């Protein structure tokens, strides 16, 4: 015995909606009830007109212009047949159609043209004596025409507000997309700096450990220990960076800043460079982002020294005041041959981009004695 497949849920056609069905059904029930309550009327024709002037509203938002014209033609036909003996009031359906063409049709001239259709139809009905029915004064036609115009104007206001909301949402989505792109670029720069620095230190320390492995095991162990520590720190920083991609990450480990420049200097010294660290300036509160940028610039500059000028003496200067942070990394000529490195690195570009983000100045280039200079000024407060 096989189970019958579950019944598929009933879906409405794409050209209508539950709200449109409800509006059309309510107006149809009202119009039919009015037609049935008139004694002596030719019921089949009146009920037919009542349904014809209301049921097309189910497609009002998909085909607003067509529905408006259909309702106007039905209204004029009903007026021509019934004259002053109308059995129901089609006015609510015309109002709904007028509001729909105003709120869904563009450009405005086309919407206004369609909005004039019910006005023309009502004037035609007035000429056919439709508004001469008991209880409807001829003077009230002007009020009805004004009501149609006001309904059309209300529809245009709703449309303009909807377009404004859509533009605001689109702008917010665009800004969010740009923010995501900037954050991805920032993470890419951070990963580049972390990996480039770590790989450089690991390669140099591993080479040094290999040299001392047979004749000075204690010194070889020191280089291997530094290699392990550098790799561990790089992994931790990468975890912290990639952690921002997790939505459920509540607390992030603090990013390094200028206070950890001394650690970079110590690592470079351990790699065989004579490094002098100069700090000074007035005490000032440096924003975290600028402090991180300064740290990464020093890190990248020292990484480049180790890769391209092994053994070169280096001077690292970090000075802060209330207006700016100035970072200078000045290296001399290398004392050992540099290992070949693949072209196309993005270290200098990344440093320049970091400085540009904060509106600072960045300069880099060779020095007269065959060394290299990296200078960056980061404003603490942007005007």
Domain that holds residue 46: 18-138
Single residue among 79, 109, 138 that ends a domain in this structure? 138
Are the beta carbons of 99 and 33 closer than 8 angstroms? no
**Would you tell me how many other CB atoms lie within 10 Å of the CB of residue 89?**
16
Cα 297 to the center of its chain, rounded Å:
30
Residue pair 326/293 in contact (Cβ under 8 Å)? The answer is no
- For residue 296, being part of any structural domain is answered with yes
Of the three residues 122, 138, 154, the one that is the final residue of a domain is 138
Last residue of a domain, one of 104, 138, 172: 138
Please indicate, yes or no, if residue 268 is contained in any of the structural domains: yes
Tell me what percent of the chain is helix, strand and coil, each rounded to the nearest 5.
Answer: 60, 10, 30
60-76 average pLDDT score? 86
Average pLDDT over residues 285-290: 82
Distance separating alpha carbons of residues 227 and 203, to the nearest angstrom? 8
Gap between the Cα atoms of 72 and 124, Å rounded: 10
Contact yes or no for 302/315 (Cβ under 8 A): no
Task: Give residues with Cβ within 8 angstroms of 51, minimum separation 6.
Answer: 28, 31, 32
Degrees to nearest 5, angle at CA 346 with 344 and 348: 120
Q: pLDDT digits over 197-242, tens only? A: 677 677 777 777 777 777 777 777 777 777 777 777 666 666 666 6
Please report whether residue 374 resides in a domain.
yes
Q: Is residue 121 part of a domain?
A: yes
How many domains does the structure of the chain reveal? Answer: 2
Spatial separation of the C-alpha atoms in residues 333 and 367, rounded to whole Å: 9
Residue 180 lies in a domain: no
Q: Is residue 4 part of a domain?
A: no
Q: Is residue 134 included in any domain, yes or no?
A: yes
Binned at pLDDT 50, 70 and 90, residue 249 comes out as: very low
pLDDT class for 316, splitting at 50, 70, 90? very high
User: Each residue of 339-376: pLDDT tens digit?
Assistant: 656 555 567 887 888 888 888 999 999 998 888 999 99
pLDDT value, residue 40: 56
Q: What is the pLDDT averaged over residues 73-94?
A: 76
Rg of the chain (C-alpha set) = 40
Q: Per the domain annotation, does 251 fall within a domain?
A: no
Give the lowest-confidence range in 121-130, 155-164, 243-252. Answer: 243-252
């Amino acid at each position: 015995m096989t189970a019958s497949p579950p019944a598929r849920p009933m879906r409405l056609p794409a050209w209508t909606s539950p709200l449109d069905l409800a509006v059309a059904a309510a107006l149809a029930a009202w119009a039919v009830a009015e037609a049935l309550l008139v004694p002596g009327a030719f019921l089949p024709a009146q009920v037919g007109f009542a349904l014809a002037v209301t049921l097309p509203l189910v497609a009002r938002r998909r085909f607003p212009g067509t529905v408006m014209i259909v309702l106007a033609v039905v209204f004029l036909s009903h007026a021509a047949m019934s004259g002053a003996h109308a059995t129901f009031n089609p006015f609510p359906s015309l109002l709904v159609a007028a509001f729909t063409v105003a709120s869904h049709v563009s450009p405005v001239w086309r919407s206004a043209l369609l909005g004039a259709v019910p006005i023309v139809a009502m004037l035609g009905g007035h000429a056919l004596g439709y508004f001469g029915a008991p209880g409807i004064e001829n003077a009230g036609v002007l009020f009805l025409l004004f009501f149609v115009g006001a309904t059309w104007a209300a529809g245009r206001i709703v449309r303009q507000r909807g377009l404004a909301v859509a533009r605001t949402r689109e702008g917010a989505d665009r800004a969010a997309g740009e923010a995501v792109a900037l954050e991805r670029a920032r993470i890419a720069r951070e990963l580049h700096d972390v990996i480039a620095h770590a790989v450089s230190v690991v390669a140099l320390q591993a080479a040094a450990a290999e040299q001392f492995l047979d004749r000075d095991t204690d010194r070889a162990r020191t280089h291997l220990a530094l290699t392990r520590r550098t790799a561990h720190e790089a992994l931790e920083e990468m975890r912290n960076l990639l952690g921002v991609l997790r939505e459920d990450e509540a607390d992030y480990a603090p990013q390094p800043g200028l206070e950890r420049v001394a650690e970079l200097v110590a690592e470079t010294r351990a790699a065989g460079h004579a490094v002098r660290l100069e700090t000074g300036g007035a005490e000032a509160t440096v924003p975290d982002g600028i402090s991180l940028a300064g740290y990464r610039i020093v890190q990248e500059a020292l990484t480049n020294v180790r890769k391209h000028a092994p053994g070169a003496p280096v001077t690292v200067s970090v000075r802060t005041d209330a207006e700016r942070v100035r970072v200078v990394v000045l290296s001399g000529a290398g004392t050992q041959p540099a290992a070949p490195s693949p072209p196309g690195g993005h270290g200098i570009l990344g440093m320049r981009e970091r400085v540009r983000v904060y509106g600072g100045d960045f300069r880099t280039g060779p020095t007269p004695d065959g060394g290299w200079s990296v200078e960056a000024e980061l404003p603490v407060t942007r005007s």
